[in-house]
């Protein structure tokens, strides 16, 4: 249960990872003792011929480089910056009516392409035709926790502006915003006013019903089977924070923070915290009153259904870190499948995970193909609802790999 809403925006040091799960090689642009500004390029990271900038979230002095675990669970180099707490920023151009190419350039120059990596979310990439832009203002950690609605209310104008800018960058006129069916009236009124002239379609979702409603809606928009990467289906799908960061970037403001959910019985306070990029999780846990005494801890980063477990809290929060769950380890053994059909009922693309799992267990390739296993978007809902605690989505992944 969320008990606190906090800000932690002035860590004494930040740790900026120089590579990530996709861009694995970096050309470092700074040295120890260099003075840097907010938004300054610290390195360029590469994947083949593609590159992306790594920027500083604070102003201060580079005091070294350390190997730490990143949010993907890999050991990578981090640039360590002593925060002077002046927040002196590089000079960025501000736009009142930017072109699509200017929006794309601003997103690229600040390394904002991969703000959303959990579940079915997509990068902000525009090298393919985009028919629909969908923005989720509900979930931080689907299906368990929603955003702080004061955030949506307080930043309604920036979020709405960012949504329009993303659509303009994609040369796309179909814009949908998913909102909570139970959104408080003040937040709904404020957000409604912010989109009144923006040709944005509001669609309400009940987050208490676990049915993959966002994916079901996107499939109706596309009117076709969805690809695992929604970009391949002509859809950009991002969250509230991506929209806010894009809006800031086009106003000449370097995005340096986002809300992160901290939950679990391993910590004394469950909280939503606005946190500076590069802050260590260990420092943030201390800010929310520290750890509980438990025998063995499990640390999970990202969404419940699609995130990963990591072995250390010495991990830097980045622009695409949305949540941590820190809990006591429980040895919940899988039971046998009782063929209840819950996983089949919840599947947003209408395939039959239980049947696919059975076909995979029996290595029946033709059955795996006949069951349209390739349509699985790997959302993880089948695993989430399974009363036998079976990792159903992993069996479906294996089946997909079996038949190519």
For the chain, 404 residues long, give each residue's pLDDT as a single digit of tens: 788 899 999 999 999 999 998 999 999 999 999 999 999 999 999 998 899 999 999 999 999 999 999 999 999 999 999 999 999 999 999 999 999 999 999 999 999 999 999 888 999 999 999 999 999 999 887 777 778 889 999 999 999 999 999 999 999 999 999 999 989 999 999 999 999 989 999 999 988 888 888 999 999 999 998 988 999 999 999 999 999 999 999 999 999 999 999 999 999 999 999 999 999 999 999 999 999 998 889 999 998 888 889 999 999 999 999 999 999 988 778 899 999 999 999 999 999 999 999 999 999 999 999 999 999 988 889 998 999 999 999 999 999 988 87
Question: How far is Cα 263 from Cα 42, in angstroms, rounded to an integer?
Answer: 32
The pLDDT of residue 84 is 98
The pLDDT of residue 295 is 85
The pLDDT of residue 210 is 80
Question: How far is Cα 254 from Cα 91, in angstroms, rounded to an integer?
Answer: 9
Question: How far is Cα 250 from Cα 164, in angstroms, rounded to an integer?
Answer: 12
Q: What's the half-sphere exposure (Cβ side, CA atoms, 13 Å) at 40?
A: 20
- Residue indicated by tokens 């992306």: 52
Which helix (H) or strand (E) segment is 258 a member of?
A: strand 257-263
Question: How far is Cα 139 from Cα 118, in angstroms, rounded to an integer?
Answer: 11
Backbone angles phi, psi at 78, to 5 degrees: -125, 140
Backbone angles phi, psi at 67, to 5 degrees: -90, 120
- Residue indicated by tokens 């989505």: 393
Q: What are the tokens at 349?
A: 């693309």
- For 234: left if phi > 0, alpha if psi spans -120 to 50, otherwise beta; the answer is left
Ranges of H-type helices in 274-391:
281-287, 342-346, 353-361, 365-370, 381-385
- Residue indicated by tokens 């249960």: 1
Domains of the chain (ranges; CATH) run 4-90+255-328 (no CATH), 116-250 (3.40.50.11540), 342-403 (no CATH)
Which helix (H) or strand (E) segment is 44 a member of?
A: strand 41-47
Question: How far is Cα 374 from Cα 396, in angstroms, rounded to an integer?
Answer: 9
Ranges of H-type helices in 236-341:
240-250, 281-287
- Name the nearest CA neighbour of 81 among 30, 115, 45, 44: 30
CB 159 within 8 A of CB 195: no
CB 316 within 8 A of CB 284: no
The length of the chain is 404
Tell me the β-bridge partners of 17: 78
Model-level pTM greater than 0.85? Answer: yes
- Residue indicated by tokens 């009144």: 196
């Amino acid at each position: 249960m969320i008990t606190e809403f906090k800000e932690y925006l002035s860590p004494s040091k930040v740790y900026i990872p120089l590579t990530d799960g996709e861009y694995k090689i970096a050309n470092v642009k700074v040295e120890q003792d260099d003075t840097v500004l907010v938004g300054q390029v610290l390195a360029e990271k590469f994947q083949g011929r593609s590159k992306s900038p790594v920027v500083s979230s604070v102003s201060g002095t580079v005091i070294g480089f350390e190997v730490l675990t990143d949010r993907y669970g890999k050991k990578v180099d981090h640039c360590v910056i002593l925060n002077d707490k002046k927040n002196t920023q590089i000079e960025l151009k501000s736009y009142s009516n930017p072109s699509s190419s200017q929006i794309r350039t601003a997103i690229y120059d600040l390394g904002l392409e991969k703000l959303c990596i959990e579940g079915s979310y997509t990068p902000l990439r525009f090298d393919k035709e985009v028919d629909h832009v969908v923005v989720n203002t509900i979930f931080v950690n689907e299906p368990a926790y929603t955003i702080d609605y004061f955030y949506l209310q307080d930043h309604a104008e920036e979020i709405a502006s960012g949504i329009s800018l993303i659509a303009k960058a994609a040369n796309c006129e179909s814009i949908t915003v998913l909102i909570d069916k139970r959104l408080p009236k003040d937040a709904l009124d404020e957000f409604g006013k912010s989109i009144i002239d923006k040709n944005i379609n509001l669609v309400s979702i009940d987050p208490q019903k676990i049915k993959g409603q966002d994916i079901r809606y996107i499939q109706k928009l596309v009117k076709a089977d969805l690809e695992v990467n929604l970009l391949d289906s002509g859809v950009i799908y991002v969250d509230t924070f991506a929209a806010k960061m894009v809006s800031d970037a086009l106003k000449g403001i370097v995005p340096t923070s986002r809300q992160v959910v901290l939950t679990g019985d391993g910590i004394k306070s469950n909280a939503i915290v606005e946190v500076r990029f590069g802050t260590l999780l260990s420092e943030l846990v201390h800010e929310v009153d520290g750890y509980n005494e438990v025998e063995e801890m499990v640390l999970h980063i990202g969404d419940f259904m699609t995130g990963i477990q990591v072995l250390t809290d010495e991990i830097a929060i980045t622009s695409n870190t949305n949540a941590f769950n820190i809990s006591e380890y429980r040895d919940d053994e899988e039971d046998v499948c009782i063929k209840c059909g819950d996983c089949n009922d919840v599947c947003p693309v209408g395939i039959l995970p239980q049947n696919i799992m059975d076909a995979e267990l029996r290595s029946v390739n033709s059955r795996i193909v006949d069951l349209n296993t390739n349509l699985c978007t790997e959302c993880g809902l089948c695993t989430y609802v399974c009363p036998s605690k079976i990792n159903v989505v992993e069996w479906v992944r294996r089946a997909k790999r079996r038949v190519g």
